[in-house]
Amino acid sequence: MKKIKIEGLVTKIIGSEIYYYKEIDSTQKEVWRRLEKNNIKNGTIIMADIQTAGVGTHGRTWYTTQKGNIAFSFVFFPNCKAKRLENITIEIARTFVQIFYDFYKIKLEIKEPNDLILHNKKIGGILTETKLNGENVKEIVIGVGINTAKKKFEEDIKDIATSIYKEYGIKVDNLRIIKEFCNRFERYLLKVEK
């Protein structure tokens, strides 16, 4: 594990600290572990090349078994009622759709509420988990997995999943995508808090 900085990040909160792991069980689980120990700053990102037990929605597995894909989680301590964050997952998905179109002219689609789709196959997923304090959100942990470079797919997902590389042969600049996501998405978060 090492602490890194991303060039061009102009956020106040998201990416306040960024930790990169070559291999970890799950970025999402690591955020929760640090929260339990009270050892994580608002906006901290945990990124990984390989996840051995990546978490999807409904307890499913998210496979990050090959290097070069996007896999990160971050924590945010919002100062607002849960109702104000109802659309957060779809907002994250829309942000990624816009970024991939702006940078690569690739048209991703959203299968609500949390899947990113390319050519009718799943290319990415978003996991949002919250802890409440009464009606207010105490913390929200957001996990993002996007198959940008994956070439081989596990037996149980090979017919329903794909990657940018598999479809277009493009090598995506993952750090640029993450940086852009943080810069754009923080504007939404700051509006929600008002």
DSSP string, 93-161: HHHHHHHHHHHH----EEETTTEEEETTEEEEEEEEEEEEETTEEEEEEEEEEE-SS--S--TTTTTTB
pLDDT at 4: 95
The correct answer on CATH 1.10.10.60 for the domain covering 2-193 is: no
* Gap between the Cα atoms of 50 and 48, Å rounded: 6
HSE toward the beta carbon, residue 106, CA cutoff 13 A: 23
Give residue 47's pLDDT: 97
135: its two tokens:
């009606």
Identity of the amino acid at 40: I
Bond before 78 cis per omega within 30 degrees: no
The ranges assigned to domains in the chain are 2-193
DSSP-derived 3-state class of residue 178: helix
**Residues 65-84 pLDDT 10s:** 778 999 999 999 998 899 99
> Which segments in the chain show pLDDT lower than 50?
none
- Which residue type occupies 186? E
Overall pTM surpassing 0.85 (yes/no): yes
pLDDT of residue 191: 85
